[in-house]
Amino acid sequence: MNFQPLKNIKILDLTAVVVGPVATWRLGQYGAEIIKVENPSGDLMRGLGGVSPTGQHSGAYLHLNRGKKNICLDLKQDGGKQIIQKLVEWCDVIVANMRPDALERLGLDASTIRTQYPEKIYCLITGYGTDGPYAGLPTYDSVLQGASGIAGLFEARDGKPAYVPLLLCDHIVGEITAGAIMSAIIQKNMNGTGATLEIPMFETMASFVLQEHLAQQSFEPPIGTAGDQRLLSPHNQPVKTKNGFISFTINTDAQVKAFLKITDRAEILHDERFLTVASRAKYVSEWFEIRGAALENKTTEEWLEIFREADLPAMPCHTLETLTNDIHLKAVGLLTQEYHPTEGKTTAIRSTIQVDGSYASAQFTAVPNGWNTDEVLHDLGFTDDQIDTFLTEKAVKRYEE
């Protein structure tokens, strides 16, 4: 498949860890040429994401940095500054998630770049924006889960705040960033104008929480408490079976009737509290207690067969160990094996987006720091002698085994 709507779009990737790499990885899937800049110590995620054979490519780094050329620059050196300015001139889009004051010191802030190149698209991902009392503060995903109310949802349900054990904020904001950049590219193709984008993570995730959980507080005056009581019910969890857990959701009146029949609860089929969507919303606590009761008289496999015969949405509740062996994921080939130039045999995750019946390219594997230094410098027009000088002055670094 040759799905490359962003072909010939060059993106200067000044991001690290997760949120920025998610955004540029997605744009690379659509055909953009990504030039990732790392300092000599490398992206923190190379080691922070877990151990690896060489210590330089954690699993998370491998999966989030596919399809990106890599140049290693020391931006404190004059040569590094010269090269980064050439990269800014060469690329169509600049994406950064460094703190704004650091970008200003380097002359890589939106105002400086767009004053010189008004046709560029500049995207800054921030923790808390550039205005307001939190502006400029450092952050990580777990901090944002707390600040945005995600951890507090667990307190409302379980009596104790908790983090989702997934870099949820980074992934969501990264995908939103990719969409915003593509919208700016479309605008530029229409009228030739660039754009300055800023994606504040805190506001973005707070809006996600409030879209669902502002709930009855959305009205003036409020007609009830905040929080979707279905989602906050302590019974809204995977249900125990004879040999494990099963995950299911039933929402429509027809689904509820079918569920009550197959779980031998026909005696409450005509209970007015549970007859309609509206009545179940009114008696949500009582309904979820019934819905969440254990199903320990049969195995997960037996229940799955029964649920599917009744056309009810249900799946096994996977662990990390069982997810990779899921029969559907195996059948569609989500995971494949490949060889990394320094890490040896690795597992790759292919694109999940189908276009015209084929999946978007997974692109080439993530590469070591400085892997493409010479190639990128040649693309920028620097001579071999100039590159040697940059290397001698330690303005750049190339990968060496």
- Short-list 179, 187, 184, 140, CA closest to 26: 179
Residue 170 has pLDDT above 90, yes or no: yes
Written as one letter, the residue type at 395 is A
The pLDDT tens digits for 257-295 are 999 999 999 899 999 999 999 999 999 999 999 999 999
Residue 232 neighbours by CB distance under 10 Å: 21
pLDDT score for 400 = 86
**Which is it for strands 354-355 and 344-349: parallel, antiparallel or unpaired?**
unpaired
246, β-bridge pairs: 239, 316
Residue 393 has pLDDT above 80, yes or no: yes
Residue 213 has pLDDT above 70, yes or no: yes
CB distance 128 to 200 below 8 Å: yes
Residue 192 has pLDDT above 90, yes or no: yes
**Cβ neighbours of residue 192 under 8 Å, at least 6 residues apart?**
119
Residue 196 has pLDDT above 60, yes or no: yes
What secondary structure does DSSP assign to 359-379, as a single string? EPP--SPP--TTTTHHHHHHH
Burial of 397 (0-12, 13-18, 19+ CB in 10 A): buried
- Residue 245 DSSP SS3: strand
CB distance 32 to 9 below 8 Å: yes
| 3.30.420.40, 2.30.30.90, 3.30.1540.10, 3.30.70.2470: CATH of 239-316 | 3.30.1540.10
Q: Cα separation of 227 and 246, whole Å?
A: 25
What is the token pair recorded at 245?
């857990």
pLDDT average, residue stretch 99-107: 94
- Short-list 306, 322, 323, 324, CA closest to 314: 306
Could you tell me how many residues make up the chain?
A: 401
Band of residue 136 on the pLDDT scale cut at 50, 70, 90: very high
Same fold, 10-208+363-397 and 239-316: no
| 3.40.50.10540, 1.25.40.420, 2.40.50.700, 3.40.50.150: CATH of 10-208+363-397 | 3.40.50.10540
pLDDT score for 1 = 57
pTM, two decimal places = 0.95
Residue 3 has pLDDT above 90, yes or no: no
Q: Cα separation of 65 and 21, whole Å?
A: 6
The pLDDT tens digits for 361-388 are 878 999 999 999 999 999 999 999 999 9
Band of residue 130 on the pLDDT scale cut at 50, 70, 90: very high
- Short-list 384, 327, 332, CA closest to 358: 332
Q: Cα separation of 186 and 128, whole Å?
A: 27
The pLDDT tens digits for 21-63 are 999 999 999 999 999 999 999 999 999 999 999 999 999 999 9
Diameter over CA atoms, the chain = 85
- Residue 162 DSSP SS3: coil
Domain boundaries, the chain: 10-208+363-397, 239-316
Instruction: Give the dihedral of Cα atoms 366, 371, 374, 378; nearest 10 deg.
Output: 0
